[in-house]
Structure formats: structure tokens, C-alpha cells
Amino acid sequence: MKVVKLEDVLGTEQEVDDGNWVSRRLILKKDNMGYSVHDTIIRAGTETHIWYQNHLESVYCIEGEGEVETLSDNKVHPIKADTLYALDEHDEHMLRAKTDMRMVCVFNPPVSGREVHDENGVYPADVD
């Protein structure tokens, strides 16, 4: 069994700050669970282009308010606390935060831990 506290990853290499967001990565590929789990803060007033071509992601908002726009159809989905969205088709999207948003994110396949978005909003397939 593994027990991880948020305080265990704060200030370590598992806390990744990319400007618009900071991702505290609790479970990673090295943990051999088949997925990774992140506690992520999306900063208020930001807009982030994301397109996970190599990953599927589910995102559960536990604090804050914003929206996700899927770029294939320009549909805007309001996001607030107690809302989950799943990027089940590698959806290219824009994530906009009206307030600071705290999200619990699950990735399949799992990330290794140091990934940041490239110029197309993509995480690499594997950084190991």
C-alpha cells in the first residue's frame, strides 16, 4: 500500500509549475498503477491550450470556476466545483480559469512526472 500526502510532494520535483498552472503529482508511472494522479491548481485569469494526443485524462474540479472549450466544435462547457470532465477522445481544448481552480486529474497512460505542454499543448508520450 502507498500513502501520499500533498505535503510530501510540495517543493519537490513532483511539483511542476508551468506558469498557468502548478501540478502536484501524487501517483506517477514509477508507482506502477497504470495511471497517474495529480492535484493541480489552474491560476485565475489564465487560458491554456491543451491537446493530450498521447493520454486520456479525467479532471474533477473541487474548487473554483472556469470553462473548457472543445476546439473541434467550439462548444463551451462551464466548470465549477463538483464537476468532472473526461477528455476521452484526445480532445483538443482551451481551459480558462475565472478564479483559481483546484483539479484532481487522472492520466492514462501515467505521466513520468516532469512533463509540461509543448507548443501544441501536448505532453510527450514518455519522457523516461
pLDDT tens by residue, 11-68? 999 999 999 999 999 999 999 999 999 999 999 999 999 988 888 999 999 999 999 9
Are 17 and 69 a contacting pair, CB within 8 Å?
A: no
Looking at the predicted structure, is the pLDDT value of residue 114 above 80?
Answer: no
Band of pLDDT at residue 107, cut at 50, 70 and 90:
very high
Q: Which CATH number fits domain 14-108: 3.40.50.300, 3.40.50.450, 2.60.120.10, 3.40.50.1970?
A: 2.60.120.10
Helices and strands (H, E) in the chain, number of each type: 1, 10
DSSP β-bridge partners for residue 96: 47, 67
Round to whole Å and give the CA distance between 28 and 14: 9
